Amino acid sequence: MEEKGKNCTKCKEYKTLDNYYFRKDYNKYRGDCKQCVSNTGKAYREANREKRKAQKRKYYLKNRERLIKETSQYKTNKRRTCRLSRTKYLVSKSLRRYITGGKSKRAKECIGCTWEELLIHLAGTFEANYGIPREYMKNFELHIDHIKPLASASSEEEIYELNHYTNLQYLMASDNLSKGSSSNWSI
């Protein structure tokens, strides 16, 4: 009869085979169960946490400049190729630009929805504004436009309100520029 389970070599409990990792190299299940494997890993990591932290710190300091450059390049590339990253970046940037001194509220908190929902909302505004299905959005140079302009805000609180998703829409670059917008929000 086929083996359905076995006792773990560590915790000694009887468990069904789906509780064991299969080792392809030995063509059999491990002796210790998944839970015990995870516990062992966790215990090892805890014991080595300080050591790992020091190692990482040393590596970081040694490679600091290269790492900073790589991260920045990665982010720039991501923004270039991914609409979601670009949107996050642009909305956050608009906040940083208008809130000077002190720490501003996170853009994520201001928009009043998730970033993914914001993209869907914006696509909806494109359709509403131009009567063109969203599939064709990529053929146009679009800007994220604040319907009520940020420049009109008279308080920090108002700046946050103006970054609410309901105040954001897609405009074609040509329209946005003619609107006299000072921010160039290519999307």
- Contact residues for Zn ion (CB under 5 A)? 8, 10-11, 33, 36
With CB atoms as reference, the residue minimizing the distance to Zn ion is: 8
168 strand-pairing partners: 146
Task: Show Cβ contacts of residue 89 under 8 Å, excluding neighbours closer than 6 positions.
Answer: 75, 79
Instruction: Report the amino acid identity of residue 88.
Output: K
- Single out the residue of 167, 165, 81 nearest to residue 118, CA to CA: 165
Secondary structure class of 97 (helix, strand, coil)? helix
Task: Show Cβ contacts of residue 116 under 8 Å, excluding neighbours closer than 6 positions.
Answer: 84
Smallest gap from Cβ 165 to Zn ion, in A, equals 48
CA 72 to chain centre: 15
Smallest gap from Cβ 45 to Zn ion, in A, equals 18
Nearer to Zn ion, 40 or 63 (CB): 40
Smallest gap from Cβ 41 to Zn ion, in A, equals 13
Nearer to Zn ion, 35 or 92 (CB): 35
Nearer to Zn ion, 8 or 119 (CB): 8
Smallest gap from Cβ 27 to Zn ion, in A, equals 21
Nearer to Zn ion, 41 or 133 (CB): 41
Q: Are 10 and 36 in contact (CB under 8 A)?
A: yes
